[in-house]
């Protein structure tokens, strides 16, 4: 079926407003039946009673329904439940009273009566029944909003756990990849024979890389300074392999604010992608630039482009999407990806524990 074809026929799937109209008419008919049994002897009185009931029901339903949608955009149940409850009661009361007064004013004008009667004792006492309908509509609307928000939170939590598990698996797969170990051991073999002191440092940095992976993968965020220290260890291993073919500039961990945090292994994922997707040689080195903007609270990783062809087993294409999804559950600030002819740039939001 074409993606532009409608999923169902319009005749089989009535519009939402039509379904709502049918429901309101049925509700109004039921309320009219139970509140004015003597009206069946007078068709005109029955019609007036049904019309007023429908106007009350429809007006109160719509007023409370739109107030729910409006409040959901600014104050959520999860973020500020007490404030939301107060605003819910206030908005519901004001909106409902406005609807009740408008319907009653219309009825007074229909009877050619003085509008001042709207505030007489007879009409003030008549507010009780419409307010009962208001309570029913309000409880239904706001309970529905709360339950939908609660269900959405459960779904988001389950999705986050799944994405975190996928991200952890991808991070481990990249770090424990046999090719990575093969290259590291080859480099270590040559260092042991030619530069024993550098080989000792290589072994220490390799152990720090794996210790960090195992420690950080269970955490939601890690200090940015720790992530940069890990990146230094990881890049040290890569520099042994690439030599002059890899040029890296990055901030020192000591310069990073202590409250700055990021998702674990987020920086390593970007470095791994840059090394995996680009060729590098002494004559045409791969340039990696890591910059921290404290004012904008962003960490930017940019690399020069020399794309090389990868096999299906080398790139699953889930690293960046997983990282973006993890950030989406932590902050509203987006992960920005820019791809130009000269370089590939990814800007990560830097979170704060303050």
Q: For residues 40 and 305, what is the distance between their CA atoms, to the nearest angstrom?
A: 82
Complete edge-to-edge strand list for the sheet that includes strand 222-223: 222-223, 260-262, 351-352
Which ranges of the chain would DSSP assign to H, the alpha helix? 16-35, 43-74, 81-110, 121-125, 128-175, 178-194, 196-216, 224-242, 266-277, 319-328
> Which region, left, alpha or beta, applies to residue 112 given φ > 0 means left and ψ of -120 to 50 means alpha?
left
Beta strands at 246-249 and 260-262: parallel, antiparallel or unpaired:
unpaired
Q: For residues 79 and 89, what is the distance between their CA atoms, to the nearest angstrom?
A: 17
Provide the pLDDT for residue 293.
92
Q: For residues 156 and 329, what is the distance between their CA atoms, to the nearest angstrom?
A: 8
Interval 257-309: pLDDT, tens:
889 999 988 898 899 889 888 888 888 899 999 999 988 899 999 999 988 87
Residue 5 predicted with pLDDT over 50: no
Provide the pLDDT for residue 154.
76
Q: For residues 168 and 162, what is the distance between their CA atoms, to the nearest angstrom?
A: 10
- Domains, in order of start, for the chain: 16-157 (no CATH), 176-352 (3.30.565.10)
Interval 27-59: pLDDT, tens:
778 877 777 767 777 777 778 878 888 887 788
DSSP letters of 193-250? HH-HHHHHHHHHHHHHHHHHHHHHTT-S-EEHHHHHHHHHHHHHHHHHHHGGGEEEE-
Provide the pLDDT for residue 171.
53
Q: Which residue has the higher pLDDT, 142 or 240?
A: 240
Interval 155-202: pLDDT, tens:
777 776 766 666 555 555 554 455 666 677 777 777 777 778 888 888
Name the DSSP letter for residue 88.
Answer: H
> Which pTM value belongs to this model?
0.53
Provide the pLDDT for residue 4.
37
Q: What is the dihedral of CA 330, 70, 141, 24, to 10 degrees?
A: -140
Look-up: residue for tokens 């409040």?
A: 71
Q: For residues 59 and 53, what is the distance between their CA atoms, to the nearest angstrom?
A: 10
315: CB partners within 8 A, 6+ apart: 276, 277
Look-up: residue for tokens 């074409």?
A: 2
Provide the pLDDT for residue 277.
87
Q: Which residue has the higher pLDDT, 59 or 129?
A: 59
Interval 67-95: pLDDT, tens:
777 777 777 666 777 777 777 777 777 77
Q: Assign 122 a pLDDT band (cuts: 50, 70, 90).
A: low
Provide the pLDDT for residue 228.
94
Q: What is the CA radius of gyration of the chain?
A: 33
Provide the pLDDT for residue 165.
61
- Give the H/E segment covering residue 298: strand 298-304
Q: For residues 343 and 320, what is the distance between their CA atoms, to the nearest angstrom?
A: 16
Interval 196-252: pLDDT, tens:
888 888 888 888 887 887 787 678 889 999 999 999 988 988 888 888 899 999 998
Provide the pLDDT for residue 8.
39
Q: What mean pLDDT do residues 139-143 have? A: 67
CB 320 within 8 A of CB 328: no
Residues facing 336 on adjacent strands: 347
Q: What mean pLDDT do residues 139-155 have? A: 71
Interval 305-347: pLDDT, tens:
988 876 655 555 667 888 888 888 788 899 999 988 889 999 9
CB 315 within 8 A of CB 324: no
């Amino acid at each position: 079926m074409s993606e532009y074809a409608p999923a169902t026929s319009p005749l089989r799937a009535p519009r939402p407003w039509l379904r709502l109209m049918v429901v309101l008419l049925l509700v109004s008919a039921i309320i009219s039946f139970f509140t004015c049994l003597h009206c069946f002897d007078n068709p005109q009185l029955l019609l007036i009673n049904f019309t007023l009931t429908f106007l009350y029901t429809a007006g109160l339903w719509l007023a409370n329904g739109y107030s729910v949608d409006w409040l959901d955009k600014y104050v959520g149940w999860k973020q500020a439940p007490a404030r939301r409850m107060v605003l819910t009661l206030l908005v519901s009361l004001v909106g409902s009273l406005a609807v009740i007064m408008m319907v009653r004013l219309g009825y007074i004008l229909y009877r050619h009566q003085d509008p001042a009667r709207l505030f007489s004792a007879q009409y003030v006492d008549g507010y009780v029944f419409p307010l009962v309908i208001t309570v029913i509509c309000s409880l239904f609307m706001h309970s529905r909003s709360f339950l939908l928000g609660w269900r959405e939170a459960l779904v988001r939590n389950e999705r986050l756990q799944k994405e975190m598990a996928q991200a952890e698996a991808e991070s481990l797969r990249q770090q424990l990849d046999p090719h990575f170990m093969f290259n590291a051991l080859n480099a270590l073999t040559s260092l042991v024979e030619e530069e024993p002191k550098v080989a000792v440092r290589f072994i220490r940095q390799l152990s720090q890389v794996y210790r960090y992976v195992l420690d950080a993968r269970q955490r939601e965020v890690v200090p940015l300074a720790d992530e940069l220290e890990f990146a230094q260890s990881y890049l040290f291993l890569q520099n042994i392999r690439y030599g002059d073919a890899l040029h890296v500039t990055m901030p020192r961990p000591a310069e990073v604010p202590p409250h700055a945090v990021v998702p674990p292994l987020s920086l390593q994922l970007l470095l791994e992608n840059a090394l995996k997707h680009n060729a590098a040689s002494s004559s045409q080195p791969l340039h990696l630039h890591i910059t921290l903007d404290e004012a904008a609270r962003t960490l930017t990783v940019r690399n020069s482009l020399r794309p090389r062809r990868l096999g299906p087993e080398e790139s699953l294409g889930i690293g960046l999407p997983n990282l973006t999804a993890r950030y989406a559950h932590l902050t509203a600030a987006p992960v920005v990806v820019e791809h130009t002819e000269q370089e590939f740039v990814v800007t990560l939001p830097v979170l704060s524990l303050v």
